[in-house]
Structure 1
Amino acid sequence: MDLTYRQQAILKAVVEEFTRTAQPIGSKSLIPFLGISISSATIRNELAVLEKVGLLEKTHTSSGRVPSLKGYRYYVENLMELSLDDSIQQGLRQVFSRRHCSLEDVIATSCSILAEMTHLTSMVIEPDKSRQTLIRLSLIPVNQTQAVAVVVTSTGQTEHRMFNFSSDLSIEDLKECTDLLNDQLHGVPIDQLVEKLEEIRPTLAANVSRHEVLFEAFISASLGFATHESKVYGRANMLAQPEFADAAKLQTLMKVLENESLFHEWTGMPGNICTRIDQRNELIQIGDCSVISAKFDTGPGEQGQLMVVGPSRMPYAQVIALMDYMSEQIEKMFGPRLEGVQDEQKSDKEET
Structure 2
Amino acid sequence: MLNERQTAIFKTIVEEFIRTAEPVGSKTLMNMLDFTCSSATIRNEMAALEDMGLLEKTHTSSGRVPSSKGYRYYVENLMEKQLDESVKNSLQTVFKEKHYTLDEVVKKSCDILSQMTSLTSLVLGPDSRSQTLQHIQLFPISDRTAVAVFITDHGHTENKTFQFDESVSLNDIQTCCNLLNDKLSGTPINHVLEKMDEIKPLMAACVKRHEVLFEAFVNAFVRFASDNVYCSGQSNMLYQPEFADIEKLKGLMKMLEDSSLWRQLADHEGDLAIRIGEDNEVLQSNNVSVVASKFHIHDGEEGQLMIVGPTRMHYNQVVALMEYMSRVIEEMYREES
Q: Compute the TM-score of the two structures, normalised by the length of structure 2.
A: 0.78
1:214-271: CA deviation from partner (whole Å, max 9, x where unpaired): 4653443234221115332111111111111111221122122112235568x69xxx
5+ residue gaps, structure 1 = 269-273, 343-352
SS at match of 1:291: strand
Greater shift, 298-307 or 58-67, is seen at 298-307
Structure 2 distance, partners of 1:223, 1:6, is 58
Give 1:155-304 correspondences, 5 Å limit: 157-163=156-162, 165-171=164-170, 173=171, 176-177=174-175, 180=178, 191=189, 210=208, 212=210, 213-214=212-213, 216-261=215-260, 279-285=271-277, 286-300=285-299, 302-304=301-303
1:188-235: CA deviation from partner (whole Å, max 9, x where unpaired): 5763766898899899889x7547344653443234221115332111
1:131 paired with 2:123, answer no
Structure 2 distance, partners of 1:186, 1:226, is 14
CA spacing shift, 1:62–1:203, aligned 2, 3 Å: closer
- Matching residue's letter, 1:126: G
SS at match of 1:255: helix
SS at match of 2:72: helix
Tell me which residue corresponds to 2:61: 62
Tell me which residue corresponds to 2:280: none
CA spacing shift, 1:211–1:12, aligned 2, 3 Å: same
1:313 paired with 2:305, answer no
Pairwise CA distance, 1:87: 0.6
1:89 paired with 2:88, answer yes
SS at match of 2:297: strand
Residue identity over aligned pairs, in percent, reads 47
| Structure 1 contact 137–150 (Cα < 8 Å) conserved | yes
1:108 paired with 2:107, answer yes
CA spacing shift, 1:174–1:143, aligned 2, 3 Å: same
SS at match of 1:75: helix
1:23-69: CA deviation from partner (whole Å, max 9, x where unpaired): 111233235544x3223434333223222222112223222211111
SS at match of 1:81: coil
RMSD of aligned C-alpha atoms? Answer: 3.9
| Structure 1 contact 55–67 (Cα < 8 Å) conserved | yes
Structure 2 distance, partners of 1:31, 1:141, is 72
Work out the number of aligned pairs and report it: 326
Structure 1 distance, partners of 2:309, 2:237, is 7
1:120 paired with 2:112, answer no
CA spacing shift, 1:65–1:210, aligned 2, 3 Å: same
- Matching residue's letter, 2:35: S
Structure 2 distance, partners of 1:27, 1:259, is 42
- Matching residue's letter, 1:11: F
1:57-109: CA deviation from partner (whole Å, max 9, x where unpaired): 22232222111111111101101111210010111123344675333222211
